[in-house]
Amino acid sequence: MSRLLRIKPMSMLSQEAGEEGEHTLKRSLGALNLITLGIGAIIGAGIFVLTGQAAAKHAGPAVSLSFILAGITCAFAGLCYAEFASIIPIAGSAYTYGYATLGEMVAWIIGWDLVLEYAFGAATVASGWSGYFVSLLQQMHISIPPALTTTTGNVLVQYKGAWMDRMSLPPGISDAGLPHVTGLFNLVAMLVVLVITTILVIGIKESANLNSAIVIVKLAIVGIFLVLGIGFLIKHPELARLNWHPFIPPSDGHGQFGLNGIATGAASIFFAYIGFDAVSTAAQEAKNPQRDMPIGILGSLVVCTILYIMVATVLTGLVNYKALNVAAPVALGIDVTGVSWGSLIVKIGAVFGLGTVMLVMLLGQSRVFFSMAKDGLLPKWAAAIHPKFRTPYISTILVGVVVSFMPAFLPIDRLAELVNIGTLLAFTIVCAGVWILRVRHPNMKRPFKTPFVPAVPILGIISALYLMTKLEIITWVVMIVWLLFGLIIYFGYSIKHSKVQALPLASDGD
């Protein structure tokens, strides 16, 4: 059992952090790049889709309180991530932090969990991006063969000149007599993943610069919605009073509305916050990680939490929460203001927004693969660095190709809850790791220190575990099956090739 819980010595981590040369990742990211990297991942599906769904299904107008609850949980974890990232500026995020504090098998579990989180998250977002992009092209009278815009076997119908899923037809409209097309594969979703993979292979600096430019566009579109919405509500205060009452609808006893609905809503929207933790996977590519990583992690978290709360509050003031369980709730909100170009601008925002979410998710997964391979837990080729671009090109290409096939052929429904449980598990381990490291190495130099330890880590663990209990049982089942499959690989390959297992026992306490 002691072999399974061997930690990666801090001396070994420090040596890796100081490595330079063509076989290492290129340090080219500043604090602003890291903040926009986080915003690029966070501002996406959450703000354009999940806000409305959480309001309609769980929390009502109090969905803004759900975002506050989820934000507080993220704040506890974010403070712990920031401390780790300043001490251990290594690619790998929670996987690396768990390896340094909780042992190899725990690190493998969290690394394998992150692979699932980022892969399915990117695939799900690619499906959403495809829908918005095709809809935007149709609005501009540009057509793509409909059989290449949806998954294999899915049936599309043509309604009012536009192709759509027959399940998305307005209530009371039958698909009988409408033109039908059966999907071959979603070429659009596949191509966007491959394009983003190419950008990531070419270079982290180029990827970050593209992301920063897109983030400016996204923030501008969110700002336009807030300005239009707040201006309209100021002129029509009676609409806000009507839609915000009751602010917390009475409970139905099943996690819908009431105080329990706020908590369930917080768990359901956690997908909206995946991203700030992905900033830590770029730690080995930051120019000054000790200073810039905490700024990037906490800065992106603060900016996005404020925007989420504002958008949720304005949206539920403009539209009654019961009508918000739609694919584009923000478009509904803009329509209320009477701005004719509202739908178009929301689709443009979603295309840009979901694009950068995919970029950061694919970046995160390839860096976790890279770190696990460097430790010997995965084959050596996964840690190969391109001599010119200085990126882990083989793992990036592998991840991109596999993920591109998922939304192309598989009928992927929104896997937000599956991604949520992975994120929350990672948060739990990182919070526990900070506490353990403070006990084991109290005098270690910490450029950023999590305040009020152990209170903050304990609150982070409790809040993350509490939100995990609000997720559906099937989510737990899928995660457990995935982790069991991962343990077969660990005991069959990883433990035999682990660099840490090859170290003398005395080095565990370094």
Query: What gap in Å lies between CA 130 and CA 442, rounded to an integer?
Result: 49
Give the residue from 146, 37, 149, 138 showing the smallest Cα distance to 85: 37
Token look-up 């800065």 returns 299
What mean pLDDT is reported for the chain?
84
Phi, psi (degrees; rounded to nearest 5) at 248: -115, 100
490 part of a folded domain: yes
109 in a domain, yes or no?
A: yes
Burial class (CB within 10 angstroms; exposed 0-12, middle 13-18, buried 19+) of 298:
buried
What is the rounded distance in angstroms from the CA atom of residue 402 to the CA atom of residue 322? 38
Q: How far apart, in Å, are the Cα atoms of 402 and each of 131, 192, 405, 406?
A: 20, 13, 6, 7
CB-based contact 98:110 (threshold 8 Å): yes
**Percent helix / strand / coil, the chain, rounded to 5:** 70, 5, 25
Q: Please check whether residue 468 is in contact with residue 422, taking contact to mean a CB–CB distance below 8 angstroms.
A: no
Structural contact between residues 352 and 214, judged by C-beta atoms closer than 8 angstroms: yes
CATH of the domain at 214: 1.20.1740.10
Q: Which of 267, 301, 266 shows the shortest CA–CA distance to 418?
A: 267
**Residue 138 lies in domain:** 10-147+204-352+416-509
Residue 41: both structure tokens together: 């991942």
> What residues pair up with 182 in beta bridges, in sequence order?
155
Asked if residue 411 belongs to a domain, the reply is no
The verdict on residue 391 lying in a domain is no
In a domain, 139, yes or no: yes
d(CA 265, CA 273): 13
Nearest one of 77, 69, 75 to 461, comparing CA atoms: 77
**Which CA distances in Å does 504 have to 9, 14, 402, 408, 510?**
11, 18, 37, 47, 11
CA 10 to chain CA mean position, Å: 28
pLDDT value for 431 = 93
- Asked if residues 45 and 282 have their Cβ atoms less than 8 Å apart, the reply is no
* CA distances to 9, 113, 497 from 379, in Å: 21, 18, 9
CA 136 – CA 140 distance, rounded (Å): 6
Residue-level pLDDT at 254: 65
Q: What is the structure's pLDDT at 332?
A: 80
Q: Compute how many other C-beta atoms are within 10 angstroms of the C-beta atom of residue 336.
A: 19
Token pair, residue 351, equals: 């295309």
Number of structural domains in the chain = 1
pLDDT, one tens digit per residue, over 210-241 is 777 888 888 888 898 999 999 999 999 999 99
> Do the domain assignments include residue 326?
yes
pLDDT given for residue 22 in this prediction: 59
Tell me which residue of 218, 467, 206, 201 sits closest to 357, measured CA to CA.
218
pLDDT of residue 499: 92
Q: What is the pLDDT of residue 45?
A: 64
- The answer to whether the CB of 194 falls within 8 A of the CB of 359 is no
Rounded Cα distance between 378 and 331, Å, is 45
Which amino acid, 53? Q
β strands within 356-507, DSSP E: none
152 belongs to a structural domain: no
Question: Residues in the chain with pLDDT < 50?
Answer: 414, 506, 509
Does the residue 442 lie in any domain?
Answer: yes
